[in-house]
């Protein structure tokens, strides 16, 4: 940071002065405060009024009041560079842009994911005003309420006289129907038996007719056809047996049809149905009178537990979906920030001092350097021996190497808490805010200067030579004042001092004569 050759010259000079100050202090502390004897020839001086300035000399150079390096959060291809070195920008100005195609696509994906997650659990984003989670939770609430209602009804069951009366009436009706069905079944059985007998008779008649037919139509009797008298009798017999066989066949078919019809219209199925209805009516009456059994209650309790678990699962799903929505919102925000990050925005108002890239190149986090040059700030270096001569708020006088005929003022605004080592020398590092600069151009960064720090200033103060001071104890001083030709010791309050004079705040007035030492004679 220290580039000026003059800085080192000043530092060496400061060291020499510091060494001289140490010698002065040694001399002062070893000087006895003993009363001068009458034989001693005293040197004296008169306390006077005047101005006194205590300062330290250092070196410095102009730095930016604020300097920031700006760039993109991640590497990308530079597609626009909107500034050049030396350009002045305001906070919020767009400085450059990188290719944002990937960031835009990621933003679209994040928006879709957010919409899906929102529809699952956020009713405000749906056109119906209801989310999927709302529907699921509501349905499980209904299922749980219904299962609980069934269980409550079973647990709180009491006989209902109206239900019992209705069940009894239904049982009586079922019994009557069953009895009627039994009567009908009995009548049907008789009809079936009669029909079966008719079929048997028809079958025997058919057998007889078939036998007579076979006899009449026996081919062994064809010889009878040769005798006219016997032929007529045989033909009549054959005609008669053929007709009898046909009628016997028809009678059997009719008997069989009647039997089938009788069987099909029998009341056996009606009796079975009536019996089933009777059993159901008996069960209904028993239920109405005895209430639910343990199996029914256990099944209802199981249904309630299942409904509760389903309801809890729906609530957990909603919580999980809310977390998913929150994560989707975070991802969307990151995607939006990533798109925004493709534009490089000036964080401060300042001047572009460095550009580390060109359009088409891959750039990253150190593309530009912005510096605030509107407020001249001086970087100051002092020898460590002058530490007590500098403090925040102290005034300075500045002379720049490039402007030797002009004197600038300023104020110390910052002192580093640690000493710095530069080329083997330990120095105090501070910052100085310069007063308004009247020239139209700014002071260029790096401009070297000589700096005088005003450590103290006294105007129209009582001054005495430093040789007159006698240090009684650290920070406590006394002076021999001539009174009626004799030196008298007085305690004084001392203000600032340099290598020549000291400011007296109290104890000595202007015009009084003070001793500065013993005059050495030749014999001595």
pLDDT 10s digits, 399-431: 998 888 888 889 899 999 999 887 788 999 999
CB 389 within 8 A of CB 382: yes
Lowest mean pLDDT, pick from 52-66, 185-199, 366-380, 457-471: 185-199
Q: Answer whether residue 462 shows pLDDT above 60.
A: yes
Two structure tokens written together for 363: 């750039």
pLDDT tens for residues 199-229?
888 888 889 989 888 888 988 888 888 888 8
Q: Are strands 88-89 and 501-506 parallel, antiparallel or unpaired?
A: unpaired
Adjacent-strand bridge partners of 183: none
Report the C-alpha gap between 230 and 74 in whole angstroms: 135
- Angle between helix 268-290 and 161-216 (nearest 10): 170
Query: Which residues neighbour 434 within 8 Å (Cβ) at sequence distance 6 or greater?
Result: 376, 377, 378, 398, 408, 409, 410, 443
pLDDT at 165: 86
DSSP designation for 360: T
3-state secondary structure 197-241: HHHHHHHHHHHHHHHHHHHHCCHHHHHHHHCHHHHHHHHHHHHHH
Inter-axis angle of helices 101-121 and 132-155, to 10 degrees?
Answer: 20
pLDDT at 99: 94
DSSP code, position 34: P
Provide the whole-model pTM: 0.48
CA dist., res. 360 & res. 90, Å (int): 25
CB of 58 within 8 A of CB of 383? yes
Q: CB under 8 Å to 223, separation ≥6 — which residues?
A: none
pLDDT in the model for residue 440: 47
SS3 249: helix
pLDDT at residue 428, as a whole number: 92
- CA 48/CA 464 separation, integer angstroms: 7
Reported in sequence order, the residue ranges of 310-402 that DSSP labels E, i.e. its strands, are 343-345, 350-355, 362-363, 368-372, 377-383, 395-400
Q: What is the pLDDT of residues 67-85, one digit of tens each?
A: 899 999 889 999 999 999 9
Please name each of the domains of the chain with its CATH number: 5-65+373-518 (2.40.30.170), 161-290 (1.20.120)
User: What is the overall mean pLDDT for the chain?
Assistant: 84
Return the residue matching tokens 């019994």.
175
Residue 385 near residue 13, CB atoms below 8 Å: no
pLDDT of residue 328: 94
pLDDT over 50 at 514, yes or no: yes
3-state SS track over 101-128: HHHHHHHHHHHHHHHHHHHHHCHHHCCC
């Amino acid at each position: 940071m220290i580039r000026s050759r003059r800085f080192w010259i000043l530092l060496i000079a400061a060291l020499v002065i510091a060494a001289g100050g140490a010698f002065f202090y040694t001399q002062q502390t070893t000087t006895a405060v003993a009363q001068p004897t009458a034989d001693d020839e005293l040197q004296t001086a008169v306390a006077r009024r005047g101005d006194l300035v205590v300062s330290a000399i250092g070196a410095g150079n102009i730095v930016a009041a604020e300097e920031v390096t700006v760039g993109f959060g991640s590497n990308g291809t530079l597609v626009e560079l909107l500034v050049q070195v030396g350009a002045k920008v305001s906070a919020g100005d767009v400085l450059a842009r990188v290719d944002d195609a990937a960031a835009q696509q990621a933003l679209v994906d994040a928006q879709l994911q957010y919409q899906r997650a929102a529809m699952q659990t956020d009713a405000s984003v749906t056109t119906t005003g209801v989310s999927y989670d709302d529907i699921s939770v509501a349905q499980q609430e209904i299922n749980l309420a219904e299962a609980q209602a069934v269980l409550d009804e079973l647990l709180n069951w009491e006989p209902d006289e109206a239900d019992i009366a209705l069940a009894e009436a239904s049982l009586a009706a079922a019994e009557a129907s069953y009895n009627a069905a039994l009567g009908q079944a009995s009548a049907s059985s008789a009809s079936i038996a009669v029909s079966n007998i008719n079929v048997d008779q028809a079958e025997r008649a058919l057998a007889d007719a078939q036998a007579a037919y076979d006899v009449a139509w026996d081919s062994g009797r064809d010889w009878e056809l040769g005798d006219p008298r016997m032929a007529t009798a045989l033909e009549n017999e054959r005609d008669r047996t053929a007709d009898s066989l046909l009628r016997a066949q028809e009678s059997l078919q009719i008997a069989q049809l009647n039997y089938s019809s009788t069987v099909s219209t029998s009341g056996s199925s009606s009796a079975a149905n009536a019996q089933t209805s009777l059993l159901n009516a008996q069960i209904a009456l028993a239920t109405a009178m005895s209430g639910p059994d343990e199996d029914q209650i256990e099944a209802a309790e199981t249904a309630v537990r299942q409904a509760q678990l389903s309801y809890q699962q729906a609530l957990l799903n909603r919580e999980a979906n809310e977390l998913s929505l929150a994560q989707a919102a975070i991802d969307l925000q990151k995607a939006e920030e990533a798109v925004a990050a493709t534009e490089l925005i000036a964080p401060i108002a300042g001047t572009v001092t460095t550009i580390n890239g060109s359009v088409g190149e891959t750039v990253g986090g150190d593309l530009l350097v912005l510096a605030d040059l509107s407020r001249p700030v001086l970087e100051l270096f002092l020898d460590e021996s002058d530490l007590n001569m500098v403090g925040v708020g102290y005034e300075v006088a500045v002379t720049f190497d490039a402007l030797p005929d002009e004197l600038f003022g300023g104020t110390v605004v910052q002192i580093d808490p640690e000493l710095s080592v530069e080329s083997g020398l330990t120095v105090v590092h501070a910052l100085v805010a310069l007063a308004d600069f009247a020239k139209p151009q700014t002071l260029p960064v790096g401009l070297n200067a000589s700096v005088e720090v005003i450590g103290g200033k006294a105007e129209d103060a009582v001054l005495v030579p430093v040789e007159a001071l006698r240090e009684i104890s650290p920070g406590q001083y006394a002076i021999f004042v001539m009174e009626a030709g004799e030196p008298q010791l007085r305690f004084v309050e001392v203000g600032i001092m340099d290598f020549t004079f000291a400011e007296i705040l109290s104890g000595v007035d202007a015009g009084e004569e003070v001793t500065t030492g013993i005059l050495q004679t030749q014999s001595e």
